[in-house]
């Protein structure tokens, strides 16, 4: 589904990713771990197509096509979803209106009929249950005045509505208490299917107690320096990153 080869990327002239390789197949959950500043968020944003990040070398193949030149909206319509580390507050834009517009862009792209306001509400109510989100958040402006936990739930709620093939969760656990973490993870797990894949970018092992990965990768200084199974996360929790970095 996703094949990243020798990826180099820079922000404001500073090279962050320095030859990253990663392969993700349908049905798999991959965890990307690593210390601060290793390039985890850069990787998530580059996959989604943020234009602050300049790809200077390498390729990202998604379903066989190099997507580096593809606009972020087209990546999204093709099934890539980024759950933001810091979801943006947009005062004045109604959450329901926003998400219905997004869903209909995707439907249009796929040649499916668009969803009207009433039908959308039915879909939204159903999907909100997954993340135990309060109904009134639908009527509020996007993320505006939401608590940290509400913002993250809103991200997973959007993911549930848009049904991506490849979801990238960027530090979705940051700022969550244990109950919120459990609820958000439950949502992510419920969305797991044999034909989709998830990349979980995280700093801490604790999220991986809830979203169990098939593979764990250690990202350090812009490269993946070590990969393993789910037990690697526990080892990292115990020993830190130094033993890998100094290897």
Partner 1 sequence: MAIQSKFDYKTHYNTVFQRFIKENHCPLLDFRKRAFEHFEQHGFPNKRVEDWRFTSCYEIAEKPFLCPKDSTTLTKKEIEPFLFENIDTIQLVLINGHYRPELSTQIDEQNISISSISKLCEAHDTRLEKIGTLVSAEENVFAALNASFFRDGFFIEVKQNAKIDKPIHIINIDADKDENSHNAVRHFISVAKNAELKIVESYHSHNSAPDALINVACELEVADGANVEYISIQQADETHHCFTNINANVAENGQLITNLLDFGSKLVRHTQNIVLDGANAHAKSCGTYIGHQRRQIDHYLYMDHAVGECSSEQLFRGVLTDKAKAVFRGRVVVRPDSQNTDASQSSKALLLSDDAQSHNLPQLEIYADDVRCSHGATVGELDKSSLFYLQSRGISEERAKQILTVAFAEEVVDHITIEPVRQKVYALIDQNLSKDLS
Pattern 183-202, binding to partner 1, x per CB under 8 A? --------------------
Q: Which stretch, 4-12, 83-91, 131-139, 216-224, contacts partner 1 (CB under 8 A)?
A: 83-91
Q: Percentage helix, strand, coil, to 5, in the chain?
A: 40, 30, 35
Distance CA 192, CA 220 (A): 28
Minimum distance of partner 1 from residue 30's CB (angstroms): 20
Q: Which is it for the CA torsion 156, 157, 158, 160, positive or negative?
A: positive
Q: Residue 162 to residues 15, 107, 177, 187: CA-CA distances in angstroms?
A: 32, 10, 26, 13
Q: Does 46 bind partner 1 (CB under 8 A)?
A: no
Minimum distance of partner 1 from residue 35's CB (angstroms): 25
Nearer to partner 1, 110 or 212 (CB): 110
Nearer to partner 1, 27 or 141 (CB): 141
Q: Does 165 bind partner 1 (CB under 8 A)?
A: no
Q: Residue 229 to residues 30, 31, 32, 49, 87: CA-CA distances in angstroms?
A: 9, 10, 12, 28, 30
Find the binder of partner 1 among 42, 85, 154, 158 (CB under 8 A): 158
Distance CA 131, CA 63 (A): 29
Give the number of other CB atoms < 10 A from CB of residue 2. Answer: 22
Nearer to partner 1, 101 or 212 (CB): 101
Q: Does 139 bind partner 1 (CB under 8 A)?
A: no
Number of residues that bind partner 1 (CB under 8 A): 30
Distance CA 196, CA 68 (A): 21
Most distant CA atoms of the chain, gap in Å: 58
Q: Write the secondary structure of 74-106 as one string of H (helix), E (strand) and C (coil).
A: HHHHCCEEEECCCCCCEEEEEHHHHHHHHHHHH
Find the binder of partner 1 among 3, 18, 50, 206 (CB under 8 A): 50
Minimum distance of partner 1 from residue 76's CB (angstroms): 4
Q: Does 228 bind partner 1 (CB under 8 A)?
A: no
Pattern 91-130, binding to partner 1, x per CB under 8 A? xxx----xx-xx--xx--x---------------------
- Please identify which residue in the block is written with the tokens 């940290």: 148
Q: Chain-centre distance of CA 240, in angstroms?
A: 24
Q: Does 54 bind partner 1 (CB under 8 A)?
A: no
Contacts with partner 1, residue ranges (CB under 8 A) = 48-52, 71-73, 75-77, 81-82, 84, 87-88, 90-93, 98-99, 101-102, 105-106, 109, 141, 158, 162
């Amino acid at each position: 589904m996703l094949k990243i080869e020798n990826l180099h990327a820079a922000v404001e002239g500073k090279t962050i990713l320095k030859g990253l390789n990663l392969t993700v197949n349908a049905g798999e959950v991959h965890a990307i771990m690593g210390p601060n500043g290793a390039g985890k968020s850069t990787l998530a944003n580059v996959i989604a197509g943020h234009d602050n990040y300049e790809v200077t070398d390498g390729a990202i193949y998604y379903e066989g096509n190099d997507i580096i030149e593809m606009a972020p909206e087209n990546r999204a319509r093709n099934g890539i979803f980024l759950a933001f580390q810091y979801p943006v507050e947009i005062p004045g834009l109604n959450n329901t209106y926003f998400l219905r517009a997004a869903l209909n862009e995707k439907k249009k792209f796929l040649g499916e009929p668009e969803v009207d306001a009433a039908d959308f509400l039915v879909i939204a109510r159903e999907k909100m249950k997954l993340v135990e989100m309060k109904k009134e958040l639908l009527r509020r402006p996007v993320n505006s005045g939401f608590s940290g936990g509400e913002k993250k739930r809103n991200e997973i709620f959007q993911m549930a509505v848009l049904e991506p093939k490849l979801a990238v969760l960027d530090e979705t656990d940051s700022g969550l208490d244990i109950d919120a973490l459990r609820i958000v993870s439950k949502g992510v797990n419920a969305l797991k299917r044999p034909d989709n894949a998830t990349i979980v970018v995280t700093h801490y092992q604790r999220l991986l107690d809830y979203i169990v990965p098939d593979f764990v990768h250690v990202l350090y200084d812009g490269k993946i320096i070590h990969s393993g199974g789910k037990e690697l996360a526990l080892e990292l929790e115990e020993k830190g990153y130094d033993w890998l970095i100094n290897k």
